[in-house]
Amino acid sequence: MDKPRSSKPTRVRTKKTTRAVAPVVKAKPVVKERRKKAAYFNRELSWLAFNRRVLEQAQDARLPLLERVKFLAIVCSNLDEFFEIRVAGIIQQAESGVAEPSVDGLPPREQLRRIHSVVAAQVEDLYRCWHSELIPALAKKDIVFESAKDLDDGDVAWVRTYFREQIYPVLTPLALDQSHPFPQLGNKTLNIIVALDNPETTPIERLVAILPVPRILPRLVALPPDGTKQRFLFLSEIIKLCAGEFFPGYRVLQAHAFRVTRNSDLYIDEEEAENLLKKIEEELRNRRRGAAVRLEIEEGVDSTIFATLCEHLDLSHEYVFRLAGPLNLLRLMALAELDRPDLKFPPFTPVACSPLRVPEQIFDTLRAQDVLLHHPYDAFTPVVDFVEQAARDPQVFAIKQTLYRTSGDSPIVRALIAASRNGKQVTALVELKARFDEANNIQWARQLEEAGVHVVYGLVGHKTHCKCSLVVRREGDGMRRYVHLGTGNYNPRTARLYTDLSYFTSRESITEDVANLFNSLTGFSREPQFRHLLIAPFTLHARIQELITTEIENARAGRPARIIAKMNSLVDKATIDKLYEASAAGVSIDLIVRGTCCLVPGVEGLSENIRVRSIVGRFLEHARAFYFENAQAGEPKVFLGSADWMPRNFFRRIEVVFPVEDPTLRDWIAKEFFPTELRDTANARELYADGSYRPVKRKPGEAAFSAQASFMASAVARARNGE
């Protein structure tokens, strides 16, 4: 099944041999290793440093105003998930007394103490940014946020009418007294706690009630416009203003909004779960009743009420945050829908100029050449077309697909259903435990099963996180396989927001391994064999160590030695130690790590040859790509894939990291993709040995360079030139 390869693959015009990118630190023939105790950054504090970099985008006055608001909303969303998953897990470790030490050796309670200190400072800066920077800047652009106390009589009348018609019918007051137990409050739901008294009793009767706010009510209410001004009022302000209508005869002393964050991780013993789908549905219901891990409440609440909340939620004060309000700034994301292009990034439409732009010719094209797409600069359409065309093509016999996260109205799911109804054998590996997407994936699984698709859930104890699509097609007297492998999810919506790489090929060396992977996941295989793909939990970790070792050996032998790795997170201690060893041997190492990084760079005798940077910009950096100089063999090794360098990715997930075998595509990654990212001085921050992230230094008078802007410009130029 060997086939001719195109002499001009998809993306790159240069014909030079692929070599290391950026200046190479030439290794000495022998580097004397200086013994130094290895150092590591704490995983949780490193993640919080990433969230700080997102907050810096909200604070950056050079960015469009509504984009800054979106970044602020993302900071809040990130903190929610951080408490629901990471902090919840550390609290459980601390309370159980049995804890696996963090990579830096901090015990759980010390981690919690430091987390609280960092989060408290971050939240204070977040609200300072909102109140002191964004609200005044928005007002200058005729987007005004009102407070209830500043409304005039006409506005108050409008608000009370809105309350009676839209809010009052769906709210239910819950009294707190001996006959009314403390209610079960939903995770991250808005609640108003109201203090009342009865002026006709002696002594005056003091009462407390809670108003849980249904999620169906919009948290941001548009007031009638005032001339050119668009005016908004937070829902919590309206409810506090009108709370007395729920308690006729009583006097409202105070009303404050609060919000509880609960432990939201899933705890499932798959060996004991007879029906995994039903078990996860049960756990999703339990998640709503998870232990409280954070309380957010507006400033000024009465100390007695505050103590009551903490007691009933079983929370110590270190997990309580008194906020300047409003709560849950994630709701500010609604402002992105405003028709104010002057306050947003200039629109960008992914270009559709790849060789796969004609769906009917996809398989013909892939017989001749491999194709590499860079999202969101390249349209995601060919990925959808690949599956949809397979569903329609009468020569296609089988489709096998992984689904980790997908969109609400997924064209991929629809295509798989259509393929099954067209008589093709369709297999879908649906990951039911994709965090916060479990309910959606249960829904997809049922729809697929009803259409006759074979739905499986991967290996027991392992999340199926890889991004693979395999098509088997009859051609002539035999069968030929076609494959799509990616670094991102099969989700057209996030493909416009995340940077990812898609690789299409019909090379037998790749497609055979992908077929073996699917057989291992759907059938039985104690020791699956893979010749070219690096698969977790089977071979990925060991092969990464081997690739780093090769660079160490080349450096010690006086040959060029270079590693460039781009990922979301770097946590695995064994891999970090191997990188330290490589640095000591003289290997030049550049790491582009968007989020958590536990490796400490730039330490003499340990990591002086390692540089770490993070890029946080308009798009979420999500691609994973790896370059190894491989000088002794004379040909660099380039890999792409779904895996970060974390223990969970190496050992608890099904991951695929695949080689880019086409020389020209490999050359584009080495000579365009990586150098562009390493040039970034606009959105990049460099990690220092003290744990701080600082803007990349520029020469005097040098303009800031944005990798994302460069990729956008390149895509537009290719579309204009018809490439």
Contact 661, 9 (CB under 8 A): no
The region that residue 188 occupies, defined by phi over 0 for left and psi between -120 and 50 for alpha, beta otherwise, is left
Q: Rounded to 5 degrees, what are φ and ψ at 327?
A: -80, 155
Q: Closest Cα to residue 213, out of 176, 256, 149, 249? A: 256
Tokens of 294: 């954070």
- Phi, psi (degrees; rounded to nearest 5) at 75: -55, -45
Given a contact cutoff of 8 angstroms between Cβ atoms, the answer to whether 296 and 327 are in contact is yes
Is 465 an active-site residue? yes
Between CA 352 and CA 374 the distance in angstroms is: 11
Q: What is the dihedral of CA 403, 405, 407, 411, to 10 degrees?
A: -10
CA-only gyration radius of the chain, Å: 28
618 CB contacts (<8 Å, ≥6 apart)?
A: 67, 345, 708
- Any idea what the Cα angle at residue 338 is, between residues 335 and 341, rounded to 5°? 115
Instruction: Record the tokens describing residue 427, joined without a space.
Output: 């297999």
The alpha carbon of residue 535 and the mean position of all alpha carbons in its chain are separated, in whole angstroms, by: 22
Residue 389, judged by CB atoms within 10 A of its CB (0-12, 13-18, 19+), counts as buried
Separation in Å, CA 503 to CA 380, 387, 430:
12, 14, 21
Q: In sequence order, what are the residues at sequence separation of 6 or more whose Cβ sits closer than 8 angstroms to the Cβ of residue 366?
A: 356, 482, 504, 505, 506
Q: Which of 676, 667, 674 has the alpha carbon at shortest distance from 15?
A: 667
End-to-end CA distance of the chain: 29
Q: Which two tokens stand for residue 80?
A: 């929610």
Q: What is the largest CA-CA distance in the chain?
A: 96
Interior CA angle at 510 toward 523 and 589, to 5°? 110
| Nearest by Cα to 673 from 715, 704, 611, 631 | 715
DSSP string over 17-86 = PP---S---PPPSS-PPPP----B--HHHHHHHHHHHHHHHHH-TTS-HHHHHHHHHHHHHHHHHIIIII
* Amino acid letter, 692: S
Catalytic residue among 375, 465, 484, 541: 465
How far is the C-alpha of 591 from the C-alpha of 94, rounded, in Å? 33
Q: Which residues pair with 694 in a beta bridge?
A: 686
Specify the amino acid at residue 29: P
What is the length of the chain?
723
599: β partners: 40
Residue 658 · residue 505 · CB < 8 Å: no
Is the sign of the CA dihedral 218, 410, 673, 25 positive or negative?
positive
Count of alpha carbons within 13 angstroms of residue 124, beta-carbon side: 6
Contact 603, 691 (CB under 8 A): no
* Helical H segments across 208-270, by residue range: 235-242
Cα(17)–Cα(13) distance, integer angstroms: 12
State how far the Cα of 161 lies from the Cα of 131, in Å rounded to an integer: 28
Which residues form the catalytic set?
Answer: 465
